[in-house]
Structure 1
């Protein structure tokens, strides 16, 4: 399970170093093979260990292509999916089109989301996080799925 907020710097080639605390488990689980794609709701990327992505890809592939909204969603998510290999130094090279989509420059944030990561521009993450906190402070109605969750 991936968790936590990890500030990271991209190098000049667009490589990000996976935090050391995750490297060994990623090597053991998927031999360092990851898949990055866009998030269709926010300007960030999602990063999956390859086995997790294969499960998602199978679910997407089973959806009907005749529905335009489904086809658009699949086109965006699967069309941007890119296989990445963690190098010996624990780095992943993020392709330019993905970096451009998410507005990634030197300072980025890797957010653990259980079985996947999100990769955000540090600036956009800070703005979005603050918006989320303000919404929670406003006593917004929790979705039904969260009302039964006991923490």
Structure 2
């Protein structure tokens, strides 16, 4: 499993190209050859960059859904809307397609935020707002999400 670390600021040009920060590029180096998948986030107004190996794991789960159930078909259609295969060019740049660029409302200043095994691509002002909004209830959220984990059972 991939464990990416860090939050990085960078710029995107008018053509939708962003230069990966060197510290992030170094972490992604083993994955550059297989490429990436770029998609809309389900919950936020940002993009998600999946290393191909992580995308394949996720697609195995999605492929188990029964397609004779309307909800499953609707989910698959919406989940994969706008999905694009992406490669990093020789200069360490990614090209963000215009439809995804528009979805995330990207301006010149971006934040690339690692989210364990993927990278979220945010417009800087939207990222700062999302972090600010989450600050108030983060302690409660952390307890709800992580509070039931028993560290001793995890170590065994």
What TM-score range do you get, normalising by the shorter chain?
0.7 to 0.9
Provide the C-alpha distance between the structure 1 equivalents of 2:113 and 2:124, rounded to a whole number of angstroms.
11
Q: Is the CA contact (8 Å cut-off) linking 1:57 and 1:78 kept in structure 2?
A: no
CA contact (8 A) 1:44 1:102 kept: yes
Provide closer, same or farther for how the CA distance between residues 33 and 87 of structure 1 changes in structure 2, counting only shifts above 3 A.
same
**Counterpart of 2:130 in 1: which secondary structure?**
helix
* Counterpart in the other structure of 1:90: 92
Aligned residues: 148
| Counterpart residue number, 2:130 | 128
Listed as ranges, the gaps of 5+ residues in structure 1 are none
> Structure 1-normalised TM-score?
0.87
Is 1:38–1:76's contact at 8 Å kept on the other side of the alignment? Answer: no
1:35 match: secondary structure: strand
Q: Give the TM-score taking structure 2 as reference length.
A: 0.85
What aligned pairs does 1:1-151 form with structure 2 within 5 A after superposition? 1-31=3-33, 33-136=35-138, 139=140, 142-143=143-144, 145-149=145-149
Runs of 4+ displaced beyond 6 Å: none
2:111 and 2:24 map into 1 onto residues whose CA distance is 15
Change (3 A) 1:118 1:95: same
Q: Secondary structure at the match of 1:83?
A: strand
Q: CA offsets per residue over residues 34-91 of structure 1, 9 Å max, x none?
A: 1100111111111011111111112112212233332222112223211001001111
Contact 2:17 2:93 in 1 (8 A): yes
Moved more, 85-94 or 60-69: 60-69
